[in-house]
């Protein structure tokens, strides 16, 4: 049985304006809409397309987080995933811990492909996929904008600074997805109802036997500086004078 493992992270919806708590201890999440990380949603869509084309027999969605994260996993099931696994954690985990968690699940599920978003929109780390590939000792293809499977190999077009790069990797492998890979499907109400009956397993993080202590400590959160109001100038001389007044030239 060929399986695809897909990581889903619960994040503040990208349409919501993020606000920092008054004490600087984090961002406000009470009463805020939470969603699947957009890059992870693209990863799931790609996994579903691969399955529909006969490239896999099962798609498993995985998330690490609090009990509320079941909501995002159910959304993943409604999109078309076959089953879900929640690794329940009391607090956010760092990328290395997340990679170790995925490795434990890989050892159990033996997937052919692991698909992750290239980064999460809350921390923008862009590390978990690369760390997982190193721990798993399997090839990786990051920032994928096109994936083609054939004969136990994958040809992947990557988004790089200079443009596009095409590489070929052996399977099993880790892929991380970029925005241009696909457009995720909409979830329909009948699919939401069907998702309630699909299996969702819950595993406690501390039962996996991995070191979960963080290596970093966030001291404080701060909102970006407020943008100053623009001014109109009549000509170049007035522009230069205004810039000099602000010490910019």
For residue 50, give Cα distances in angstroms to 110, 113, 179. 17, 10, 17
How does pLDDT run across 122-142, given as a tens digit for each residue? Answer: 989 999 999 999 999 999 999
pLDDT at 91: 85
Q: Which domain holds residue 106?
A: 3-245
The pTM of the full predicted model, rounded to 2 decimals, is 0.88
What is the SS3 assignment for 231?
Answer: coil
Residue identified by tokens 């985990």 is 93
Element spanning 102, H or E: helix 95-109
* CA distances (Å), origin 59, targets 85, 124, 194, 238: 11, 25, 16, 62
Task: State how many domains the chain has.
Answer: 1
What is the C-alpha to C-alpha distance for residues 188 and 146, in angstroms, rounded to an integer? Answer: 26
> Does the pLDDT at position 246 exceed 80?
yes
Q: What burial class does residue 99 get, using C-beta atoms within 10 Å of its C-beta: 0-12 exposed, 13-18 middle, 19+ buried?
A: buried
> Could you tell me the CATH number of the domain that includes residue 142?
3.40.50.620
- The DSSP output letter for 155 is E
Average pLDDT, integer, range 153-159: 95
Identify which of 135, 6, 150, 141 has the alpha carbon closest to the alpha carbon of residue 79.
6
Task: Give residue 74's Cα distance to chain centre.
Answer: 16
The residue among 108, 99, 114 whose CA lies nearest residue 173 is: 114
d(C-alpha 151, C-alpha 225), whole Å = 52
135: preceding bond cis by omega (within 30 degrees): no
What pLDDT is stored for residue 1 in this prediction? 63
């Amino acid at each position: 049985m060929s399986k695809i493992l897909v990581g889903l992270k619960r994040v503040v919806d990208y349409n919501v304006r993020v606000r920092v708590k008054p004490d600087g201890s984090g961002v406000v999440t009470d009463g805020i809409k939470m969603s699947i990380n957009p890059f992870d949603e693209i990863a799931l869509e790609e996994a579903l397309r691969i399955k529909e084309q006969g490239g896999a027999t099962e798609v498993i969605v995985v998330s690490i987080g609090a009990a509320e994260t079941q909501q995002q996993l159910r959304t993943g099931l409604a999109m078309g995933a076959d089953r879900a696994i929640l690794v329940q954690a009391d607090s956010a985990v760092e990328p290395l811990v997340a990679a170790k968690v995925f490795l434990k699940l890989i050892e159990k599920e033996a997937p052919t492909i692991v698909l992750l978003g290239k980064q999460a929109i809350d921390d923008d780390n862009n590390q978990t996929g690369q760390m997982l590939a190193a721990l798993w000792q399997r090839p990786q293809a990051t920032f994928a904008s096109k994936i083609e499977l054939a004969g136990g190999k994958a040809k992947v077009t990557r988004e790089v600074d200079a443009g596009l790069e095409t590489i070929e990797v052996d399977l099993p492998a880790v892929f991380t997805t970029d925005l241009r890979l696909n457009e995720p499907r909409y979830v329909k109400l009948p699919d939401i109802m069907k998702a309630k009956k699909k299996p969702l397993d819950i595993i406690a993080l501390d039962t996996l036997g991995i070191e979960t202590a963080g290596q970093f400590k966030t001291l404080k959160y701060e909102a970006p500086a407020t943008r100053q109001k623009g001014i109109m100038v009549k000509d170049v001389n007035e522009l230069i004078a205004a810039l000099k007044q602000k010490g910019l030239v």
